[in-house]
Chains A and B, each alone.
Chain A
Amino acid sequence: QTVVTQEPSFSVSPGGTVTLTCGLNSGSVSSSYFPSWFQQTPGQPPRTLIHNTNSRSSGVPDRFSGSILGNKAALTITGAQADDESDYYCLLYLPGDIWVFGEGTKLTVL
């Protein structure tokens, strides 16, 4: 069974930089998996931050950026702000036209 892995939790200082990653238990993540990143706040639908590896969605601040780092997809937040404290999920497009979410990373800004 395919599992998309993310760090369960991460902490960053205000103004700092943090990189969250998204991997596959069965191999490497590449751009052909069209990785997306979402920010989730309680009671709201997920907010799409990044799609197609590194395309920033409309209205998303440029402190959010996506990339492939080694064998994983990555979301980097540069100059973290207090309201970036949230849950972050990645999503990968897998063979067979299916999508699989990662387990999510709880980001704390303190």
Chain B
Amino acid sequence: QVHLQQSGPGLVKPSQTLSLTCAISGDSVSDNYAGWNWIRQSPSRGLEWLGATRFRSRWDSYYAESVKSRIVIIADTSRNQFSLQLNSVTPEDTAVYYCARDRYWNYDYWGQGTLVTVSS
């Protein structure tokens, strides 16, 4: 059974960096058939896929156009986790953030969600 445990601050100031981590148990972040995703949800924007990282003989990351200029998703193999960094946040980035695994195009495991509020 795979479990994804999210951690990170629930309050970030405008213009600063939002950082969240997703710790994996029951699978390896280096799983050749898995993608490790970040998704957010807000009342105004619904569900929004932000990006993913995955290992296919090398590490690659993929990002949504809407956040491409200010997002980094990176895996940490020593801790078996992956992280999200979203730079230059504004109140529009206030949302519940989820990490999720996709394997064979199936989003089969999700983190518990983290409400992140961007406010001074």
Contact = CB atoms under 8 A, between A and B. Distances in A.
Interface size bucket, B side? 20 to 34
Given A57-B106, A91-B107, A45 B98 contact: yes
Interface size bucket, A side? 20 to 34
Nearest to B98: A45
B37 A99 contact: yes
B105 A51 contact: yes
B interface, by DSSP: helix, strand, loop or mixed? Answer: strand
Contacts of A36: 105-107
B87 interface: no
Nearest to A45: B110
A19 interface: no
A89 B106 contact: no
A52 B46 contact: no
A31 to B, nearest CB: 10
B110 A46 contact: yes
B31 to A, nearest CB: 16
Contact of A101 (B48, B60, B65, B104): B48
Interface in A67-110: 89, 91, 93, 96-101, 103-104
Interface of A: 1, 34, 36, 38, 40, 44-46, 48, 51-52, 55, 57-58, 89, 91, 93, 96-101, 103-104
What are the 6 A-B residue pairs with the smallest beta carbon separation, nearest first? Answer: A45-B110, A51-B106, A34-B105, A99-B49, A101-B47, A97-B62
